[in-house]
Amino acid sequence: MQVQARVQSRAVIEITFPGASEPGMFGRISRHALADWHAFALFSEERKAVSHMMVISGLGDFTKGLITTPPATLYVRMLKFPGLPYCAPM
């Protein structure tokens, strides 16, 4: 999937994906189709937004690699899983 990556600092990257996301959802991304999947929280400005984002801190090899070499494309698991904030209204 085509993404827009903006390095905010030496430790933070913001990745924007097309389409909206529900509040409290997690997205899973990878640079390789069959391995190395990582989950991050998703957010968008509104329910009918044209895009949603991940803000990622560079703590491990995968996330530091995203910051040093910002991606133009990523593999994305299209099935989104609810995270803890999604369960808060219960």
Compute how many other C-beta atoms are within 10 angstroms of the C-beta atom of residue 30. Answer: 15
For residue 86, name the pLDDT band (cuts at 50, 70, 90): low
Query: Over 70: is that where the pLDDT of 7 sits?
Result: yes
pLDDT top residue among 46 and 3: 3
Q: Name the amino acid, one letter, at 4.
A: Q
Asked whether the CA dihedral 84, 48, 79, 69 is positive or negative, the reply is negative
Asked whether the CA dihedral 75, 81, 84, 86 is positive or negative, the reply is positive
Fold of 4-79: Elongation Factor Tu (Ef-tu); domain 3 (2.40.30)
Q: What is the pLDDT of residues 43-81, one digit of tens each?
A: 887 767 889 999 999 999 999 999 999 999 999 987 666
pLDDT of 80 reads 62
Query: Over 70: is that where the pLDDT of 88 sits?
Result: no
